[in-house]
Amino acid sequence: MIKGFKEFLMRGNVVDLAVAVVIGGAFGAVVTALVKDLITPLIAAVVGKPDFSAIQFTINGSKFLIGDFINAIVAFVMVAAAIYFFVVTPLNMLAAKRRSGQAPPDPTTKSCPECLSDVPIAARRCKFCAQPLTVAGSGR
């Protein structure tokens, strides 16, 4: 039982996930600081103080703090925008640059002319309709 647990822990997936969680937590702190210390003051400089916490209403003695909810939504949207514009977009551009010089991989399947199913490129008959096919590279 202990041996199986040790093998489970030493699998690449578990270690990679643990590293991702730790780095994700640290990265979350960086993004939160970016939003709180740079983006929020920038918005406040343009439109005034972006704090809605004073907005509330009362029904039968129960307070509904709708302003806190609005603040949470604004914070979420700002964090999501910061992640998208400062992380996702630049990484997508880098990945596109890396792929631009590479040739696309050779196809591994072809279409059956009779039933239009995808079959392996080297197949001589369609596995779905048994239609004879030409083998890639043989000319038949």
Q: Which CATH architecture has domain 2-100?
A: Orthogonal Bundle (1.10)
pLDDT value at residue 139:
47
Written as tens digits, the pLDDT of the chain (140 aa) is 788 877 776 776 777 787 788 888 888 788 778 777 877 777 777 767 666 777 788 999 999 988 778 778 877 887 788 888 888 899 889 888 887 877 777 888 998 988 989 999 888 899 889 889 876 554 44
Q: CATH 1.10.1200 residue ranges in the chain?
A: 2-100
Contact of 124 with 133, CB cutoff 8 Å? yes
- Report the alpha-carbon distance of residue 126 to residue 134 in Å, rounded: 10
Per DSSP, what are the bridge partners of residue 125?
A: 132
Contact 125, 131 (CB under 8 A): yes
Nearest to 40 by CA among 3, 73, 74, 84: 74
| 45: amino acid identity, one letter | A
pTM strictly above 0.75: no
Sorted by sequence, the CB contacts under 8 Å of residue 66 that are 6+ apart come out as 52, 55, 56, 57
Bridge partner residues of 120 (DSSP):
109
